[in-house]
Chain A
Amino acid sequence: MNRREFLAAGSAVAAASALPSFALADDKTIQVYSGSDNNIIDFWNNTIIPAFQKANPGLKVKLIDAGDDNGLRAIADRALAALKSKADPQADVFENFDARLPAGGVDAGLWVTFSAANVPNFGKVNPKAIDMPQQLPYRGSQVLLAYDKTRLDAKDAPKTWEQLVAWIKKNPGQFIYNRPDKGGSGGNFVRRAIHEVNGRDPSKFTIANFSADYAEKSLTPAWAALKDIAPSLYEKGAYTSGNTQSIQLLSQGVVTMVPVWSDQVLQAISQGVLPETTGLVQLTDLALCGGFSRLTVFSNGANKDAALKLADFLLTSEMQSAVITQIGGFPGVTWDNIAADLREKYKDVVPTSIPTFPGGDWNAAINDGWYRNVATGLARG
């Protein structure tokens, strides 16, 4: 083989290997990007995708782990640029994303607006969970308090914020929460403190009513309340750097109680990371905040219709039951759309109300305020 023949053969091989990626364009492969934790990625790969592909022959789902929310933001920016130049964003679905980003995306029509017309099951969605029609809440979880039943009797577990604070002060070093920006369990504990000092009324906080003055006025008393319990926390005011680390301290028997995400703690118990003697309790005067994972669909994705089918499929009672049984989450649909036996079994963790706290500018105000006011100023040895 002379050199020219070799080059010709070589380029033919290279072209052949490039073929599958060309073929991908007209194949019905829905590109789903997720920035969620591994348990969710596993849930999609092992449960949702096989079931969906079985129910819809000819459609394929490809789940791409974007790492975290920042990974998704970069792809969303790219998709917004693609929308303006009428190009294919090569992405169809985000597994969990805030449709308020990228800025101007909603106005430009980047996201599909969900309704019963394009997603037949949309009517089943829990109205409390709907935030904006560009987002489809399909699974949720809430922050609870997890405690060691061998050290705290279930009947003495605190049921209100006041009892919780009294318990923390009576048992110094036995409670810890994570830094509010590093994980939602600590973040929503902090938000519960904010609710407490503002008359336990979540409706006082919306994305639109944020202003620096209002934040100053409403958050400052919360910092005082959190500072007040700081000396009674683990190591006189230490804060773990994430949800997992809090669970680790509970499992090592270092502390007696931590705030946890409901799905994470149920999974930790079922995997044996936390012992069977782990108790769960929710505050009854006002629950700790929760949140829903919201699916978004690109309006300019190549497989928009297939993506909407996938969105609809997620709301079927089969998938919504799997959310409860497999990842310990809450369904995105109302509870009357869930099988009766499941409803009965999980009635203890079924929230009667899920208070939420708005994101947007409040996030930055809470994170910065907490670091500057609560985390500092403690002499620790």
Chain B
Amino acid sequence: MADTAIPSAIGGSEPAIGRGLKGLLLVAIPVFLVGWLIIYPIIAAILSTLFVDGPQGVHFSTASYQFFFSDPYSRANLALTLWTTGLCAVLLLLVGLPIALYLRFSTSRFADLVQSLAIFPMFVPSIILSYALIRTIGPNGTLDILLNAIGLPKIPSPYLTPWGPVIGLVWDNLPLTVLMLTAGLGSISNSAVEAARDVGAGPIRVFWHIILPRMGNSILVTISFTVLGIFSSFTLPYVLGPASPEMMGPFMLRTFNDLYDPLNAKTQAVISFVFCLFFGLFYVWSIARNQRSQTR
């Protein structure tokens, strides 16, 4: 690709074409890497799950997909993954939005502290977080000891239940959510908010009619980003979650590694990929919509 592009770029008599080629050259490396390391393996994986080696040579078969969707165990794992992902996305918005609003509109120095606290989980590796959560909200953990000290009963521990990963994932993904929502809120001008206040709008009306319509896009972007991350999460569901049903991440690894079954592991990966693709398209669509509205 580079060999053909360079001579024409140097000898190009038309500067506009030369510049275009240079631009293409600049993106060639990332495009090549994406093609080589992401697109090609995806296509190879999809093909290898559909064209399987049989006794009479390679033939087309959807048996592994039929097995996945007819197997209640696999379906339960997929359902748990969707449940966890959906619940985490909702919880992240519920927790992240108030923090982002506070950070956007507060001018106090306390806001800096809140911001650094909200960003803090980004710097904690999830494996450390997992063990810390077992210590704090796990059975007989710090929280139980504190509750016990003031004469209250112990909490039902979320450890080894589906709620364990939910708590961990919300904590782990909070920084990204807050950062993206705060960035989205940055595009709302103070004057619009003040104008609404001047005509007598209360905080809820301001939020509902002024702020929310203007940050719809950033909410979409935030949700698609966190969903992509949570859907494929591994460490937190692995350490904190129940043995069964399990999320797709640990399930795939187990199928591949413990059951020596690459075909079904790849099938699970392709199915996860299709779900993530849906949210990825959602993201691309909202970005495209955003760009269109800006150029307009």
Contact = CB atoms under 8 A, between A and B. Distances in A.
Do chains A and B stick together as partners?
yes
A239 B241 CA distance: 9
A178 to B, nearest CB: 9
A280 B240 CA distance: 27
A364 B261 contact: yes
A126 interface: no
A245 interface: yes
Contacts of A375: 242-244
A378 B138 CA distance: 21
A151 to B, nearest CB: 13
A21 interface: no
A241 interface: yes
A239 B243 CA distance: 6
A238 B242 contact: yes
Interface residues of B, number: 25
Interface string B135-155: 000111100000000000000
Contact of A235 (B140, B160, B244): B160
B76 interface: yes
B138 A252 contact: yes
A249 B160 CA distance: 12
Given A179-B243, A376-B76, A364 B134 contact: no
Interface in A367-381: 367-368, 371-372, 375-376, 380
B258 A238 contact: no
Contacts of B260: 364
B8 interface: no
Contacts of B261: 364
- Residue with the highest number of chain A CB atoms closer than 10 Å, among B241, B242, B257, B260: B242
B259 interface: yes
Contact of A254 (B140, B161, B259): B140
Interface residues of A, number: 24
A376 B138 contact: no
A70 interface: yes
Contact of A252 (B76, B140, B243, B257): B140
A7 B238 CA distance: 52
Interface in A199-247: 235, 238-242, 245
A133 interface: no
A253 interface: yes
A317 interface: no
Contacts of B205: none
Interface in A247-271: 248-249, 252-254
B244 A376 contact: yes
- Residue with the highest number of chain A CB atoms closer than 10 Å, among B76, B138, B160, B241: B160
B242 A367 contact: no
B245 interface: yes
Interface string A343-381: 000000000000000000001100110011001100010
Contacts of A235: 157, 160-161
Interface string B234-268: 00001101111100000000100111110000000
Contacts of B207: none
A380 B245 contact: no
Given A181-B258, A253-B140, A364-B260, A376 B161 contact: no
| Nearest 8 Cβ contacts at the A-B interface | A375-B244, A238-B160, A375-B243, A254-B139, A239-B243, A181-B258, A252-B140, A364-B259
5 contacts: A235-B157, A238-B159, A245-B134, A364-B260, A375-B242
